[in-house]
Amino acid sequence: MLRLSVLAVSLVIIVGCSSGRRIPSPDAVRLATLHIDHATGIDGRVDIARIARFLKTIDADIVALQGIDRWSDRSEKIDQIVSLADALDRTYAYGRVRLLQTGETGNALLTRYPIIEERHVDADVGAGTAGFMLAVLERRGQAIVIVNTDLGGGENSFRLDATLEQIHQRIESFSALPLIVCGSAPEFTQADLSRFGHASFGPPWRKIMATDTLTPVADSHDHNRGFVLIYRQTLASENITVSSAERVATDASQYQPLIVELRIKTD
């Protein structure tokens, strides 16, 4: 049986903290993951420009987005990832998860680093409803692998298991590189994540935080759990350390982003 371990980070919402661009060291990388629900804010209004303004304030080097639409009626037929990439002057990668009645929705990356390779993998759990995107980025002459996925809802544990099985199989060919898996599980409850975290996962994944405790979010309708995993079975990933992790409140999305400050040493 496949044994993985996951960090499903759920931190208390930090209001009024400074999440703007820090003065980085050469090794610093800021990673953010956020389910944008096709740019629906807490007021129920779809506004991709508001998402762009928020992402500018956090100024992450790598942004992993889930629930991003292209050309759908519900998001005014806007190609949301192109709109964000243009607004932030970032390179992007996109992987379709499923077709909508009009348009499509999927996962995406925005990054200030060049993208060497990108691909989308269907997790084969039916109707194209699950999958993940994999991108190889170049940072200071070093390749870094980022996997981005939406693990779905708590009632669909088969989707979680199938997606993680596919991720495990696909990343084996990148085992010589620093490798990070991130994303969201919007419909999983605290109990679901605790069950998966303790029963389904083990080495070789390293947790960012030194506790298994999952802190309930303040807003009862917000079941989002952003997560970041660092693959620890390679010497390359031993060069990744974590400086901090936090959730930040925003009205741009019904979910709050997880922002992680990393240090990635180059050889």
* Stronger pLDDT, 257 or 80, i.e. the higher one: 80
Q: Is the confidence at residue 161, as pLDDT, over 80?
A: no
User: So what's the pLDDT on residue 103?
Assistant: 93
Q: Which domains occur in the chain, in start order?
A: 13-264 (3.60.10.10)
User: So what's the pLDDT on residue 108?
Assistant: 97
User: So what's the pLDDT on residue 138?
Assistant: 97
Q: Minimal CA–CA distance to 81: which of 95, 67, 96, 70?
A: 70
User: So what's the pLDDT on residue 248?
Assistant: 85
User: So what's the pLDDT on residue 191?
Assistant: 54
Residues 10-63: pLDDT tens digits?
332 222 334 444 556 788 999 999 999 999 999 999 999 999 999 999 999 999
pTM of the full predicted structure?
A: 0.80
Residues 165-199: pLDDT tens digits?
777 788 878 878 888 888 887 655 555 544 444 33
Rg (Cα) of the chain, in Å, rounded? 17
- Residue showing tokens 């909508």: 100
Q: Is the confidence at residue 139, as pLDDT, over 80?
A: yes
Percent of the chain with pLDDT over 90: 39
* Stronger pLDDT, 214 or 159, i.e. the higher one: 159
Mean pLDDT of 150-165: 65
